[in-house]
Structures are given as structure tokens and as C-alpha cells.
Amino acid sequence: MFLSSHLMRDVALTAYQLIVISRGRIIADAPIQDIRSIPVKSVRPGL
């Protein structure tokens, strides 16, 4: 199943695994709980 959303709350209610894509590249691929623990600046390239 594929779900596209910018709202982590909605994704967490629907999925267990999360892939974050930025500028056409996968920058995170892990369970939602693991991604929630990553500081935002670590996930966003260029910051």
C-alpha cells in the first residue's frame, strides 16, 4: 500500500513503515517510531 501525506499523525494511524522522500531521493526508510526520534535537521537535507 502507498500513502502520500505531510501529516505524521495521519500516517501513524495507517502505517508501520515510513519512507521519506525529499527532492526525489529517499532520505529515510524505517518504522515510524524510529523516524519520529530523528531530529528534524537530520532528516531534512540542506539544513
pLDDT of amino acid 47? 45
pLDDT of amino acid 44? 55
How many domains does the structure of the chain reveal? Answer: 1
Residue 32 counted as domain residue = yes
Residue 3 counted as domain residue = no
pLDDT of amino acid 11? 78
In angstroms, the CA 11 to CA 28 distance is 15
Q: Which structural domain, as residue segments, surrounds residue 33?
A: 8-43
Question: What number of other Cβ atoms are within 10 A of residue 44's Cβ?
Answer: 11
6 has a pLDDT exceeding 70: yes
pLDDT of amino acid 46? 52
The secondary structure of residue 40, as a DSSP letter, is H
Residue 2 counted as domain residue = no
Residue 1 counted as domain residue = no
pLDDT of amino acid 31? 92
Q: For residue range 8-47, list pLDDT tens digits in order.
A: 777 788 888 888 888 899 988 999 888 888 776 655 555 4
* CA atoms within a 13 Å half-sphere pointing along the CA-CB vector of 12: 8
